[in-house]
Amino acid sequence: MRWLTCTPGALLLLCGAGCGRSHELEQGGYVFAVPTQDVIRDDCGLATAGGPNLQAQLQSFGDDIRFALVQQSATSCLAVELVGQYQYNTENFFADGTASNPLLQANGTVCHVSFVQYHLDGVTVSPSVFSGVMRISYLGSTPVACNCQLWFNFQAALCIPPSCPPVPTQCS
C-alpha cells in the first residue's frame, strides 16, 4: 500500500525532470553582428560587404532550442530552421539546420545550391546576448565553384521593437 502513495510523487518528479531546466537567455528576435575581422573562412565571398545579414527568432523548450533564421542579401533571402540543445549543465548550446535547392549568390555568381548547411555553436553572455561561431556551407552547387563555406565569429543581441530591422516576409 505504501507503493501507491509514493507513485504520484514519483510521477510528478519524473515529469518535472523531463521538461529540462530553464536557461537565462531570453526568447525573442536576435540580430547577428559579424565584424569583418571575425570572419575565419570565406570561400563564398559573402563577407566582402560586411558579412551576412542574419536575424533569428529564438525559442527554447527546457534544454532544446529552435532558431527561425533568416539570411538576407541584396539579391536573395533564405529562411531556415535550426534546432539544437544546451550542453549538460552549462549555458553553451549548438544548433543545426539545412535548406534544399535555394538560388544563392557566391563570389558574385548566382548558384543553384543543392543543400545549405548551418551549424551554430553559442554561449550565453547575458540574458539578452549570446556569441559564438557559425558555419554556412553551400554543397552540391552548380557551378562547382559555388561549393564553398563561410565561417565566422558573431555576437547576437535581443532586438526589441521598434528598433529591430524588419524581418523579410518573402523568403524561399
Whether residue 63 lies inside any domain: the answer is: yes
Amino acid sitting at position 27? Q
Looking at per-residue pLDDT, the higher value among 172 and 53 belongs to: 53
Closest CA to 83 of 120, 123, 34: 120
pLDDT at 162: 76
pLDDT value at position 10?
42
Asked, for residue 2, whether it belongs to a domain, the answer is: no
State the pLDDT at residue 3. Answer: 45
pLDDT at 13 over 50: no
Give me the pLDDT at residue 21, please: 75
C-alpha radius of gyration, the chain, whole number: 19
Q: Which three cell numbers stand for residue 146?
A: 559555388
Q: 41: domain range?
A: 17-158
Burial 95-131, CB ≥16 within 10 A → b, else e: bebebeebebbbeeeebebeebebbbebebbeebebb
pLDDT of 15 over the 90 cut:
no
What confidence tens digit (pLDDT) does each residue in 55-79 have? 999 999 999 999 999 988 767 788 9
Could you give the CA distance from residue 36 to residue 49 in angstroms, rounded to a whole number? 9
Tell me the pLDDT of the chain averaged across its residues. 83
The total domain count for the chain is 1
| Percent of the chain surpassing pLDDT 90 | 49
Pair type for strands 28-33 and 115-126: unpaired
CATH number for the domain spanning 105: value is 2.40.128.120
* Any domain includes 168: no
pLDDT tens digits for range 42-59: 998 888 766 678 999 999
Separation between Cα atoms, residue 140 and residue 116, nearest integer Å: 9
Question: How confident is the model over 33-43, as a mean pLDDT?
Answer: 89
Nearest by Cα to 86 from 59, 104, 69, 64: 64
pTM, rounded to two decimals? 0.82
Length of the chain: 172
- Dihedral of CA atoms 90, 68, 102, 144 in degrees, nearest 10, equals -20
pLDDT at 169: 56
Residue at 9 is within a domain: no
- Is 172 part of a structural domain of the chain? no
Here the cell at position 139 is 554543397
- Flag whether 51 is in a domain: yes
**How sure is the predictor about 172, in pLDDT bands with cuts at 50, 70 and 90?**
low
**Any domain includes 10:** no
3 located within any domain: no
